[in-house]
Amino acid sequence: EAGPAAPPADARPDPGPAVRQLLEEAGAIEPLKAVVVAHEGEVIAARGYRGATPDSPANIKSASKTVMSALVGIAIDKGVLEGADQPIAPLLRDRLPEDPDPRLQRITIGHLLSMQAGLERTSGRNYGAWVASRDWVRDALRRPFVDEPGGAMLYSTGSTHLLSAILTRESGRSTLELAREWLGPLDGFEITAWDRDPQGIHLGGNNMAMSTRSLLAFGELYRNGGVTPDGERLLSREWIEASWTPRTNSRFTGDGYGYGWFLRDLAGEPVRYAWGYGGQMLYVVPSLQLTVAMTSDETEASARTGHRDDLHRLMAEIIRAVRAPASRS
């Protein structure tokens, strides 16, 4: 005998009010500037704080590394690059140091994406000296090896900047031009500003400006398997799966890391997230068809202050609020 029929989709309890209440309370998280929440492809809550709005440009800092990963995936799909296993030394041969370490020949596109190049980091305490150099690409490549290519995760903006240099050279166009063309069909996505190095190469992995809504639109592309709401494919599903495959772990958090995406569980759900300095966050929860973008004051370190953990807790509460109506339906 057949059981009771499931209620139609439009009759399910709406998680929107509960999520909007959470965003109201989130105003107590002082560095927070804006949050946008999308469930099943629809924005169910959006809120700005302290004069900011979800449409205000924000510096997404290292969350731009995740955008760089998408551009690399599209470049591979278009034949601009061969694949994640392609060695980088032939692509940057005239920028290599004199008498280069033989291990430079073993670094691949994938190693740069997963932060496993083995080269000394240009982030953290080394960042200031790196961006003060005359040639950021040469400086990143001349760094000493502190691990083997493919070894431990060494989080370094220099690695993703090398990807920007490679894309610029192989395509003959700036990375910003590529982003605007390749991701332009994605409704709501817009990069409003992006820093360059002394040679004019856009900073692959930092100082990219976009609104919180734009960051959400980018996350929705991944949640939708690389297809826009209009049905246009911009990114292959295979690249998304490769990007969300854990390849190493952060020594700071223990979280997994793929190609530009961190991986962890929150509130019992597998979550993929991008993270930028100060608390620029993009969370994708495929199991719940949920995407959340958060932007914050970019002037203070979110890990050291505990702000990142506050945002993780807020995200866990959003997950529970979205999951609760589904469990009752």
Please enumerate in sequence order all residues whose Cβ is within 8 A of that of 49, keeping only pairs 6 or more positions apart, or say none. Answer: 26, 27, 32, 33, 34
Judge whether residue 4 has pLDDT over 50.
no
- Looking at per-residue pLDDT, the higher value among 181 and 5 belongs to 181
Q: What is the pLDDT of residue 188?
A: 96
- Looking at per-residue pLDDT, the higher value among 3 and 163 belongs to 163
CA distances from 232 to 59, 164, 214, 237 (A): 28, 25, 18, 13
Q: What is the pLDDT of residue 311?
A: 97
Please enumerate in sequence order all residues whose Cβ is within 8 A of that of 56, keeping only pairs 6 or more positions apart, or say none. Answer: 33, 34, 48, 211, 212
Question: In the predicted model, what is the mean pLDDT of residues 239-264?
Answer: 97
- Size of the chain in residues: 329
Domain limits, the chain:
15-323
Q: In this predicted model, what pLDDT tens digit does every residue of 14-67 receive, in sequence order?
A: 999 999 999 999 999 999 999 999 999 999 999 999 999 999 999 999 999 999
What CATH superfamily is the domain 15-323?
Answer: DD-peptidase/beta-lactamase superfamily (3.40.710.10)
- Do 112 and 153 touch, CB atoms closer than 8 A? no
Whole-angstrom distance, CA of residue 67 vs CA of residue 132: 24
- How sure is the predictor about 11, in pLDDT bands with cuts at 50, 70 and 90? low
Whole-angstrom distance, CA of residue 62 vs CA of residue 208: 8
Q: What is the pLDDT of residue 327?
A: 59
Q: What is the pLDDT of residue 2?
A: 44
